[in-house]
């Protein structure tokens, strides 16, 4: 009954370091998404995936890398973290066909 | 480019009041519209999903309407309670952005229900 989980929930890192945020869902949803939420901007789509090994850019993809080797996992990597990537990151999933999106609890990332 | 606006940004009401939250979007070409609730420090909880062919959806004390031609949706909360205090987010799934699964969010309305 886990649904969709994210780890870590909180992360502090330094500029230039690589960071990977994990997302795992137990529903076998085909679609998975990564958003960032910032004051003044609301939620913005970073990357999404329609199925294993299929990913595509969203509105703000620069500085991020994703992969999806298994349907249930969708990690987000910041290859060289910058202060502007300080944000709350949410993972979401949905069935195909414009269905509801279900969100994880979020990861609060601080880049010093 | 689809834009979603929610006004007001914040709303404070006394307990028991019926209230309406507003959402507007610039392009009527949408697959659906979703209302979410977000509690402080938490993720988003889906409240209601309205398909583009529908006019409204109801769940308990919540009723969401959709007027696609005018680019508007409202979320009606009946008999508000302090537990309804949260930020309410509206999101549309645009037809024109290469897939029905992507969402464009408004910035939300922060609701406070005072006992």
pLDDT in tens, A5-28: 999 999 999 999 999 999 999 999
> Do residue A45 and residue B46 have CB atoms under 8 angstroms apart?
no
CB neighbour list of residue B91: distance below 8 Å, 6 or more residues apart? A43, A101, B4, B33, B34, B35, B36, B103, B104, B105, B106
| Interface residue of B103, B104, B106, B109 to substitute, partner A, most A CBs within 10 Å | B103
> Do residue B46 and residue A104 have CB atoms under 8 angstroms apart?
no
Q: In angstroms, what is the C-alpha Rg of chain B? A: 14
| Interface residue of A88, A98, A99, A107 to substitute, partner B, most B CBs within 10 Å | A98
**Residues of chain B with confidence (pLDDT) below 70:** 96-100
pLDDT digits (tens, 9 = 90+) for A30-64: 999 999 999 888 899 999 999 999 999 999 999 99
Residue A68, CA distances (Å) to A7, A30, A32, A53, A89 in order:
16, 11, 9, 5, 17
Degrees (nearest 5) of the Cα angle A32, A81, A106?
Answer: 40
Q: In angstroms, what is the C-alpha Rg of chain A? A: 13
Nearest residue in A to B37, CA atom: A103
- Model pLDDT, residue B98: 58
> Do residue A99 and residue B49 have CB atoms under 8 angstroms apart?
yes
Question: In this model, does residue A92 exceed pLDDT 60?
Answer: yes
> Do residue A42 and residue B100 have CB atoms under 8 angstroms apart?
no
- Model pLDDT, residue A20: 98
Nearest-CA distance B105 → chain A (Å): 6
Backbone angles phi, psi at A53, to 5 degrees: 70, 10
> Is residue B96 within 8 Å of B2, Cβ to Cβ?
yes
Contact residues on chain B for A107, CB-CB shorter than 8 A: none
The Cα B45–Cα B49 span in angstroms is 11
> Is residue A108 within 8 Å of A39, Cβ to Cβ?
no
Peptide bond into B62 cis (omega under 30): no
- Model pLDDT, residue B100: 62
- SS percent in chain B: helix, strand, coil, step 5: 5, 55, 40
> Do residue B46 and residue A96 have CB atoms under 8 angstroms apart?
no
Map residue B83 onto helix, strand or coil: helix
Nearest-CA distance A9 → chain B (Å): 10
């Amino acid at each position: 009954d886990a649904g969709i989980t994210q780890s870590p929930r909180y992360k502090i890192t330094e500029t230039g370091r690589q960071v990977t945020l994990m997302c795992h869902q137990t529903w076998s949803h085909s679609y998975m998404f990564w958003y960032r939420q910032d004051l003044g901007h609301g939620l913005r789509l970073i990357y999404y995936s329609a199925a294993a090994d299929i990913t595509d850019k969203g509105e703000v993809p620069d500085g991020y890398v994703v992969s999806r080797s298994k349907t249930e996992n969708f990690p987000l990597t910041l290859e060289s973290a910058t202060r502007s990537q300080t944000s709350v990151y949410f993972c979401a999933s949905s069935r195909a066909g414009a269905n509801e999106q279900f969100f994880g609890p979020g990861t609060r990332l601080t880049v010093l | 480019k689809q834009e979603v606006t929610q006004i007001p940004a914040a709303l404070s009401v006394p307990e028991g009041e019926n209230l309406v939250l507003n959402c507007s979007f610039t392009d009527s070409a949408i697959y659906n519209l979703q209302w979410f609730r977000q509690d402080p420090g938490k993720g988003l909880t889906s409240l209601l999903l309205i398909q583009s062919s529908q006019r409204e959806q109801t769940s308990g004390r919540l009723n969401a309407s959709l007027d696609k031609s005018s680019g508007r949706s409202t979320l009606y909360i009946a008999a508000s309670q302090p537990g309804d205090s949260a930020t309410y987010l509206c999101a549309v799934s645009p037809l024109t952005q290469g897939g029905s699964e992507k969402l464009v969010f408004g910035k939300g309305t922060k609701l406070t229900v005072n006992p």
